[in-house]
């Protein structure tokens, strides 16, 4: 990954390597298979907040539907059409749409590309180490075990191979 230099402070977002994959075990990871993230903030060494340019292929999900205890999050749609799914239902987002999720708001959310074309958006969020995320629709949790974060079932049983 390229990082900023004083002689060339700007870069083209397409030059930031896209990352696929997720730390979630199967079957959850399969739902995000068509997701690619370019970690734009990391390319500049930004540590206080994250900025990702995300591309979702048709049928892909941005994440499991979730909410954060301490992290603020904002989404800005760059291109295409996405379905925002929250506790309030479903809303179609298009280029120029923006939505924010304040820390501690238990209105779980994620994006799904139900269209036939790829869609792109920016996700921006604070990076607070003690943040917890909750996933109301799925049997998964991030928990701290012996000082490290681990993926478990909601009852605390570890995922095999996670």
Instruction: State pLDDT tens for residues 97-136.
Output: 999 999 999 999 999 999 999 999 999 999 888 888 889 9
pLDDT at 126: 94
149, part of any domain: no
Q: CA-CA distance, 34 to 37, in Å (whole number)?
A: 10
pLDDT at 8: 64
pLDDT at 150: 79
158, part of any domain: no
107, part of any domain: yes
Q: In this predicted model, which residue has the larger pLDDT, 74 or 15?
A: 74
* Weakest-pLDDT range from 25-39, 102-116, 141-155: 141-155
- Segments forming the whole domain that contains residue 103: 20-130
11, part of any domain: no
154, part of any domain: no
The number of folded domains in the chain is 1
| Predicted structure pTM score | 0.87
Nearest to 120 by CA among 159, 33, 62, 41: 62
145, part of any domain: no
Task: Say if CB 139 and CB 76 are below 8 A apart.
Answer: no
Which pLDDT band holds residue 4 (cuts at 50, 70, 90)?
A: low
Share of the chain above pLDDT 90, in %: 65
Rg (CA), the chain: 16
49, part of any domain: yes
pLDDT at 43: 92
139, part of any domain: no
- For residue 155 the two structure tokens come to 């009852």
């Amino acid at each position: 990954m390229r990082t900023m230099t004083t002689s060339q402070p700007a870069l083209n977002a397409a030059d930031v390597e896209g990352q696929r994959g997720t730390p979630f075990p199967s079957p959850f990871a399969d739902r995000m298979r068509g997701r690619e993230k370019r970690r734009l903030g990391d390319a500049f060494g930004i540590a206080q907040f994250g900025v990702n340019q995300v591309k979702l292929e048709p049928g892909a999900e941005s994440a499991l539907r979730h909410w954060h205890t301490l992290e603020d999050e904002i989404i800005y749609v760059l291109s295409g059409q996405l379905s925002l799914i929250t506790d309030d239902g479903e809303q179609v987002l298009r280029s120029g749409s923006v939505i924010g999720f304040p820390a501690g708001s238990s209105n779980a959310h994620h994006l799904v590309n139900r269209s036939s074309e790829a869609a792109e958006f920016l996700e921006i969020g604070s990076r607070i180490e003690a943040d917890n995320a909750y996933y109301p629709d799925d049997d998964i949790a991030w928990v701290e075990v012996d000082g490290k974060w681990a993926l478990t079932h909601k009852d605390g049983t570890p995922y095999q191979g996670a």
